[in-house]
Amino acid sequence: MASTAPALRTRQTADERRDQVVAAAIREFADNGYAGASTAAIAKRAGISQPYIYALYPSKQDLFIAVHDHVIGILRARFADAVRGASPEERLESMGAIYPTLIADRHHLLVQLQSYATSDPVIRAHVASCYRQLYDEVLRLSGATPEAVSLFFACGMLANITTALDLQEICGPLFDGDNTGSRAG
């Protein structure tokens, strides 16, 4: 005998909803930037009501910062993973070697670029602080000189831009080169 009872739906926790909203917001902010994105569009992508976004995040600004922190958190975790077991001489190159996989997610890459381009002073200050923390973390994790880490970040920005513009052949030598430690990150 078939059951006629309605299927029970499990309610998502607030954390699960936040993850769902962040995933939707990554796409919206990547495609439209902070100024061009709307919380209505994010809510539609997430399959929730717009007011519920404000129950999870007090403002669009807070949501953008959460999206930025999510994307940069992945980057930081992967860099930390990359140096495990690597010799001091290999650490910076190990981080650079995984960077193409990190920027292969176009939406995550575009969130990074949109974060650097926003004119909102609160977001700019937060992004600048996070960028400095990332730089200091790469310096600490790698044990490399400040000059080497600055070159690493410069190569990483070249990789970001050329990947966003579908001109990977420009940065290709950074990843396919002679393994001298000058890989991008």
Q: How far is CA 158 from CA 37, 78, 174, in A?
A: 26, 19, 10
Please list the ranges in the chain whose pLDDT falls under 50.
178-183
DSSP label at 180? S
Coil vs helix vs strand at 156? helix
In a domain, 94, yes or no: yes
In a domain, 81, yes or no: yes
pLDDT (0 to 100) of residue 181: 38
pLDDT (0 to 100) of residue 107: 97
**Predicted TM-score (pTM) of this structure:** 0.86
Helices assigned H by DSSP within 3-143: 14-36, 39-46, 50-56, 60-83, 91-103, 106-117, 121-142
Residue with tokens 């995984």: 98
Tally the domains of the chain.
1
In a domain, 38, yes or no: no
CA distance 121 to 127: 10
User: Domain of 144?
Assistant: 60-176
